[in-house]
Structure 1
């Protein structure tokens, strides 16, 4: 049987069916395969390294000083970027499922979103061990580099509903970034999809709240607050909407924790120094940490 080839750049490895995996395990008596030269077009790598592009991934860390703590800062920043990409992709999947009315499927993916957020939150743990004196050892090399300039982070915020045309300007003049950020700015968020779902189910959501310019900053609405409160008053009447409300609340809660951990880590490492991106540092982060996604989901609790 001729297998389909998986090709990554100059390397190619055979894919395996379940039956072929069983047969191979039988031939090796369950021991791992350690010789890849016979099945590979190029024997300079292994299937694992090739699939994950591990050699490329591990070549992307370039600290600029001899300060040992800089590697932790560098690697955790890259891990965060990868998680931003994962979360952005999953949130958009949830949004599309909600627009299609597939609530159960959306809830399934929201489980993974929330678990991935926990990993994102944990990335602040290694960073919080960097002392102020260690950070001084490499901070100057950051120049004007700042997380504010992360186009992946900005897309994630937009996908969750925190739209800001002003923040999107950071990527103007850089076509490969600007196009992606602008698309995320103008696309409906996952919260827009949730409100459209409530509207389609008969909740008293004003028409202007579901047919609007999605690039504009979201403004909370008392009618939406009442609609969520109605769902909470009778959770068994629309069980899937009730579970969706709690799942989105979990996502917003995890994100708020991430922002708070960011604030506390910067405060511990930097004190009250200005940020590299032009802000006043901790003071700016403290203000940003006050923002809440899906605001009516929280304020609706006051009506119960």
Structure 2
């Protein structure tokens, strides 16, 4: 039977990570936790920094899931694509709730740190732009904020020039025997998507016979879930910004709330919403 001294010695040995990888080593916590470097004396700048850093980490995961799901759709691997699209929607929910914390910052608290931000703005987030492009909101002007950084520009441009999630979904429909107009299967992927009555008819044929087209029906609902979550993210963004800065211009030169409100009108997968009226 082990003595108390033996037990204590064994426990100490198990807790000694000086010669093996620890939790902090694996996660590179020293680098992450030392990446918050406020420029102002204001207490609330730490909240502002961590809010945006954690959002960028979630966006990195979101891009990973969307990129992999796009590959699955191209190869007709629907079950794994469904799993990744579900995860993407849950990530969007995390991004939505992050605004709840930032909304605790009052206008005077933000005003104390704003002069230290210079022209930096979330508008310049290259990962967010990749997400927008992956979801189909293409706009060539949005490449310009990244022109000063060739590596980031190349990443953003790759999403800009590639078929979006919705484009790949329509190509999948066609491969599954659902009639989709040819000009929606091969087009200039850098152009914004335009809604089509013929595409709506294609989706309607799926929704009117879900048992026959179960996988495509599931795909349509996964896309709807994702856009639903993305709309909530945009809405919480604009309301939080209005709560904190009102209608002041954004630090990056945008119109602030006025610009964000325009983004609320962008519909990513239009036929999946209009078909509900016609069912």
Partner of 1:173: 148
Partner of 2:219: 244
Correspondence 1:35 to 2:16: yes
Partner of 2:90: 115
Partner of 1:94: 69
Correspondence 1:64 to 2:45: no
Q: Over aligned residues, Cα RMSD in angstroms? A: 1.7
49 and 204 in structure 1: CA distance in 2 versus 1, 3 angstrom threshold = same
**Structure 1 position 32, deviation (Å):** 9.9
Partner of 1:257: 232
Partner of 1:209: 184
Tell which has more relative contact order, 1 or 2 (C-alpha 8 A, sep 6+).
2
Would the aligned equivalents of 1:162 and 1:293 in 2 still touch at CA under 8 Å?
yes
Q: With structure 2 as the length reference, what TM-score do the two structures score?
A: 0.93
**Structure 1 position 171, deviation (Å):** 1.2
Would the aligned equivalents of 1:96 and 1:193 in 2 still touch at CA under 8 Å?
no
Structure with higher helix content? 2
Correspondence 1:75 to 2:50: yes
How many equivalent pairs are there? 271
Q: Distance in 1 between matches of 2:159 and 2:134?
A: 6
Partner of 2:168: 193
Q: Deviations over 1:8-56 (max 9, x none)?
A: xxxxxxxxxxxxxxxxxxx968x9932112x33xxxxx51111111000
Q: With structure 1 as the length reference, what TM-score do the two structures score?
A: 0.86
Q: Distance in 1 between matches of 2:13 and 2:239?
A: 45
Q: Distance in 2 between matches of 1:269 and 1:193?
A: 39
- Structure 2 gaps of 5+ residues are 1-8
Q: Distance in 2 between matches of 1:109 and 1:115?
A: 10
